[in-house]
Amino acid sequence: MHLRVKICGITTVEAARAASSSGADAVGFIFAFPDSSRCVGVDAARDIARHLHPFVTRVAVFRHPDVAAVSEVVATFCPDVVQAEPSSELVAAVAGRAEFLPVLHDGDDVTDRAVDFAADGAAKPAILLEAAGVGGRGVAPDWHRAAEVAKSCNLILAGGLTPDNVAAAIRAVRPAGVDISSGVESAPGIKDPDMIAEFIAAVRTVERTLDLDPTLETTK
């Protein structure tokens, strides 16, 4: 199996190169988070993205965005994926221009919400799961509920992950991928290349373990 790894909140060329050279599958550029140290403008994101391996997926990340703002970023930055809380208007605006990765927030009813979302499409959808409330705080969703959500979708687990706990998270949740931002930072908004490499290495190690012992797999 191959677990997709996304390094989110990229703000520098150094961080982009570190994620790319360490084997990240995707990197996230955060737009329209005016209170975030990880927010970048379109011009900066475009310049940084030039230093990525061509097969690294570029994700434009938004929190409760205005549809017009998303459309402008899609037109000028041309991301591969747009990540945001879903709405019919936003999904329609992105359709045909980028893939859409919906964000769900943890809660007692998150499994039902994921099942309802999955039932709307013909294919098993990708969903990014964050902690309840606002993401980007380094807080983990409940792993038990996340494991239930992972049965109905290709779950990207986000929030509270570090190089030290990602193996346990993967074993508990069995996600399709993992997303990290603050867990590989030396300071808010500053990615540590060594921590990025350590995180991705930890994912690849547990990935091989799951391949070697199929009894560890969860039926999806």
- Check residue 138 and give its pLDDT: 76
Beta-sheet strands, E only, within 35-114? 57-61, 81-84, 99-105
Q: Is the pLDDT of residue 217 over 60?
A: no
- pLDDT (mean) for 196-215: 86
Q: How far apart are CA 182 and CA 15, in angstroms?
A: 13
More confident residue, 119 or 189: 189
Q: Is the pLDDT of residue 219 over 70?
A: no
Q: Is the pLDDT of residue 184 over 70?
A: yes
- Check residue 218 and give its pLDDT: 42
CATH number of domain containing 13 = 3.20.20.70
Q: Is the pLDDT of residue 122 over 60?
A: no
State pLDDT tens for residues 69-102. Answer: 999 999 999 999 999 999 999 999 999 999 999 9
Query: Which whole-number Å values give the CA distances from 73 to 46, 70, 104, 150, in the listed order?
Result: 10, 5, 22, 30
8: domain range? 4-216
Neighbouring C-beta atoms of residue 1, cutoff 10 Å: 10
Least confident of 10-19, 81-90, 126-135: 126-135
More confident residue, 132 or 206: 206
Q: Is the pLDDT of residue 148 over 90?
A: yes
Domain total of the chain: 1
Q: Is the pLDDT of residue 62 over 60?
A: yes
Least confident of 34-48, 70-84, 146-160: 34-48
Element spanning 113, H or E? helix 110-119
124 close to 153: Cβ distance less than 8 angstroms = yes
Residue indicated by tokens 């199929």? 214
Least confident of 57-66, 77-86, 125-134, 182-191: 125-134
Average pLDDT, the chain: 90
- Check residue 32 and give its pLDDT: 73
The residue length of the chain stands at 220
Q: Is the pLDDT of residue 25 over 70?
A: yes
What angle do the packed helices 42-49 and 13-22 form, to 10 degrees? 40
Query: Exposure of 153 by Cβ count < 10 A (0-12 exposed, 13-18 middle, 19+ buried)?
Result: buried
The pTM of this model reads: 0.92
